[in-house]
Amino acid sequence: MDILERKVQVDSELFTIKDLMYCADIQHDTRFIEDLNKSLRINTTNSNMGTYNLIVSKRDIGLFCIGMKPHKNWKLKDLKEYFGLKGKKEKCKAQIDFLSDLFLN
């Protein structure tokens, strides 16, 4: 089963992840979705690359929104391309928070 076709309950209705991403104005054919299937070993724990990048990007966009650049080569454009986001930094932060709620909880 494709990860985008998984059902998620919102209030009392079921929606696919693809539909929810469409409603949040987030593209679904991105590198992030591909990386959700790639495994990654962190210390002694297995994870996946998409989840790791989502956690790190949530931290980075939070820093960027309060005026700090996470590191010297960090660009909002790269974050937008990887996750398929649109808009300014505040909207991107809201979209990253939405993805975090969708995939990390």
CA 28 from centre of chain: 10
Question: Of 89, 91, 104, 102, whose CA–CA distance to 56 is shortest?
Answer: 104
Q: What is the DSSP string of 34-63?
A: HHTTSEEEETTEEEEHHHHHHHHHHHHHHH
Tens of pLDDT, residue by residue over 62-82, are 999 999 999 999 999 999 999
- Residue 1: the pLDDT is 46
d(CA 37, CA 3): 9
Per-residue model confidence (pLDDT) at position 89: 93
When the pLDDT of each residue in the chain is averaged and rounded to a whole number, the result is 89
pTM: 0.86
| Mean pLDDT of the region 3-9 | 81
Backbone angles phi, psi at 86, to 5 degrees: -140, 150
Percentage of residues in the chain having pLDDT higher than 70:
99
Domain chopping of the chain, boundaries: 3-104
Whether 34 shows a pLDDT value over 90: the answer reads: no
In this structure, what token pair is assigned to residue 23?
């409603």
pLDDT the model gives residue 103: 87
The secondary element (H helix, E strand) that includes residue 102 is helix 89-104
Among 31, 34, 39, 83, which residue's Cα sits nearest to residue 61? 83
Per DSSP, the chain holds a count of helices (H) and strands (E) of 5, 4
